[in-house]
Amino acid sequence: MNLYKMLEEAIVSDSINIKEKLTRECFEYCSQNELIDIKDFTPIVFETPSYAKKCKIVKPNELVTRKDFAKPKGLASLVHAILHIEYSAIDLALDAVYRYPNMNQKYKVDWLEVALDEVKHYLMLESLLVELGFKYGDFPVHSGLFDIAVDTSKSILDRMAIVPRYYEASGLDVTPQILKRLENKRKIPSVKRFIDTLHIIYEEEISHVQKGDYWFKYLCKIEGKEPKIYFDILKKYGLLEKHRPYVNVSARKEAGFSCSEIKILGKVECE
């Protein structure tokens, strides 16, 4: 099979069923084959996100603030926002394999496994969204994760620093805050289902950040750089000074962050 042709097809498709099928086939293939031919393969830089035909893409500051989660539309808007993150994360994980073909088998298997997790998360959230009377594309989205994939396309070290170790790790900070906001509405069945789904996603996202942490440090060693270059990379992409109202110390430590890193990110106590 042509692994990279299949990955490209999965990335450009806006069908979750096609993405899932091709991702599973790629995962099984990479799990069984250590050496994969990359002769005559050059990855392309995608010009538009795969969801462009389904979703209205706007600037982040044009998104409507989500509130009143006790009502179906208010809850659906929040579910949709997280659903969009999970959809984008599928393409990001697939692109991590597609774009850097010289990486070893463990790397490929790791990120295809992440992609399968993200597909599962998407399907769980999509089911809830449909139950609420909406579908993916009913609310505007922004293309921030797609844009960062383009921006980091030429540097795998930057990709590992920015996607799993910044954006996914930020999700570990944000999710507990969302859960707190939803807790007093737990008696509403759809809210309870959403809370339960977020707990599953949260636990699995820790393992995704762990993988990103492993490969970031692996690449630092290969390139003869110290892991503290992480902060230089954040600065390069304008992310170092981003305000973080809450930093999840325990989850970040579990995912591989050192206390010295956490203190820089959040100015919090860490032992």
- Residue 266: the pLDDT is 87
pLDDT-based confidence at residue 180 (cuts at 50, 70, 90): very high
Separation CA 221–CA 223 (nearest Å): 5
247 CB-near residues (< 8 Å, 6+ apart):
173, 262, 265, 266, 268
3-state secondary structure 102-156: CCCHHHHHHHHHHHHHHHHHHHHHHHHHHHCCCCCCCCCECCHHHHHHHHCCCCH
pLDDT-based confidence at residue 176 (cuts at 50, 70, 90): very high
Separation CA 55–CA 71 (nearest Å): 22
Q: Could you tell me which of 175, 161, 164, 144 has the C-alpha nearest to residue 246? A: 175
Q: Tens digits of per-residue pLDDT, 85-124? A: 999 999 999 999 999 999 999 999 999 999 999 999 999 9
- Residue 261: the pLDDT is 94
- Residue 69: the pLDDT is 84
Would you say 133 and 72 are in contact if contact means Cβ atoms under 8 Å apart?
yes
Q: Tens digits of per-residue pLDDT, 135-144? A: 999 999 999 9
pLDDT-based confidence at residue 1 (cuts at 50, 70, 90): confident
Q: Tens digits of per-residue pLDDT, 213-270? A: 999 999 999 999 999 999 999 999 999 988 788 999 999 999 999 999 999 998 888 9
72 CB-near residues (< 8 Å, 6+ apart):
132, 133, 190
- Residue 191: the pLDDT is 95
Q: What share of the chain is helix, strand, coil (3-state, %, to 5)?
A: 65, 0, 35
Query: Has this prediction a pTM greater than 0.85?
Result: yes
The single residue listed with the structure tokens 């390069």 is 236
DSSP 8-state code for residue 1: -
pLDDT-based confidence at residue 212 (cuts at 50, 70, 90): very high
Q: Tens digits of per-residue pLDDT, 17-76? A: 999 999 999 999 999 988 887 877 889 999 999 999 999 999 988 888 777 888 889 999
- Residue 58: the pLDDT is 95
Would you say 75 and 194 are in contact if contact means Cβ atoms under 8 Å apart?
yes
